[in-house]
Amino acid sequence: MPERPRPELRCRCGHALQRFWRFCPACARRQVWRDTQLITGAECGQCGWVVSDRSSFCPWCAADLHEDGVSSPRPLRRPKGFRMDARCDAGCGGGVQYPMAFCPWCGEAQSWDDGHLFEGVCPRCERGVDDWMDTCPWCGGDATGVDLLAPAEREIRRLLRIAGIANWGFRLILRPGGSGVAPDSPKIVSINRDHVLGRRRREEVPWPMVVGLVAHELGHSFLFHHWRWTRSPRFRRVFGEVDKAYRVDDDTPIHFDRRRVAYSPVAHVSAYAATHPLEDFAETFRIYLTRRRRLRELFAELGRKRKAVKVFEKFLLIHDYVRSLRGWT
């Protein structure tokens, strides 16, 4: 697999493109890569993309280009104007250049595993995409997959409005692997796509659990985005040192669909919250958000469950900080 090429051209909207992207990842405009530099002297009559007159098929749309006496009678490694980045998947012996969709010699579809060249993969076509992309440059779909999260996203944004938490510019993306937020990219909130895509054909998507999961990860995003707050004496006294070594047991049960506080441990809202100060904040934030900041109702529950005074202080700390961000007194 070749290295990822550098952006070399721009879309009509002005956004930088990489050669042979089918769609602009910013405006979703379909692209046509013609032979503007007259390198091969040939373009496909069906899709208009640059081709080699030595090929038998268009490598972009699979149109039949064969011409007697012009097309090569045998598969070539790299005709003029193109590279050889791999052999044809179908085994015809010809060379193909990334990211050709079809073999220019036998016309068979080609597959490219380019996820490692990007920050993630498209939830629809499994091709590589970056976190900033709105549109997949390969299939033209939503590169984030957030449209597949629409019910959860609508509920989350409604809860944020009710809680009076202003949007800090977070971006939800559906990706393979575990959910999480990186400290150096606090606004990128990755959600494990298996919770949505893995269940769509088998059973109903557990939206309450997904909403709880997103709320938990937003807690991490919110905290990383306001990291200076963690240095305040009150925060340290209530949540502790959030930058301590992170050693969390993966077997600790997590119940994101539950909006009530667990009976134990007494100093935390859930068992998972007790694993690390970061998870303590994220779980407390989740409960605060999903309970719509109804502190009187929430504190009554804490009293019934005989929670420690520190749990009350955690919710008050978040509540006061959210109010301070909006200039409330």
Q: Tell me the pLDDT tens digit for each residue of 124-157.
A: 899 999 999 999 999 999 999 999 999 999 999 9
Using pLDDT thresholds of 50, 70 and 90, give the confidence band for residue 6: low
- The beta-strand segments (E) located in the chain are 9-10, 16-17, 86-87, 95-96, 120-121, 128-129, 171-175, 180-182, 185-192
Among residues 190, 240, 185, the alpha carbon closest in space to that of 216 is found at 190
Which one-letter amino acid corresponds to residue 164?
A: G
Domain boundaries, the chain: 32-112, 147-325
Main-chain dihedrals φ then ψ at residue 19, nearest 5 degrees: -55, 135
Whether 64 shows a pLDDT value over 90: the answer reads yes
Token pair of 76, please?
A: 């070539």
Any idea what DSSP says for residue 248? -
Helix (H, G, I), strand (E, B) or coil at 30: strand
For 83-92, 197-206, 221-230, which range has the lowest pLDDT when averaged over its residues? 197-206
Average pLDDT, the chain: 92
Q: Kindly report the CATH number that applies to the domain delimited by 147-325.
A: 3.40.390
Q: Measured between alpha carbons, how far is residue 57 from residues 46, 67, 107 in Å?
A: 11, 10, 5
3-state secondary structure 164-222: CCCCCCCEEEEECCCCEEECCEEEEEEEEHHHCCCCCCCCCCCHHHHHHHHHHHHHHHH
pLDDT score, position 252: 75
Is the CB of residue 47 less than 8 Å from the CB of residue 62?
no
Mean pLDDT of 202-219: 90
Per-residue confidence (pLDDT) for residue 177, from 0 to 100: 84
Nearest to 255 by CA among 269, 240, 265: 269
* pLDDT attached to residue 329: 43
Tokens of 177: 């692997």
Looking at residue 92, its amino acid is C
Q: What is the pTM of this model?
A: 0.85
Q: Which helix (H) or strand (E) holds 40?
A: none
Residue 102: strand pairing partners:
109
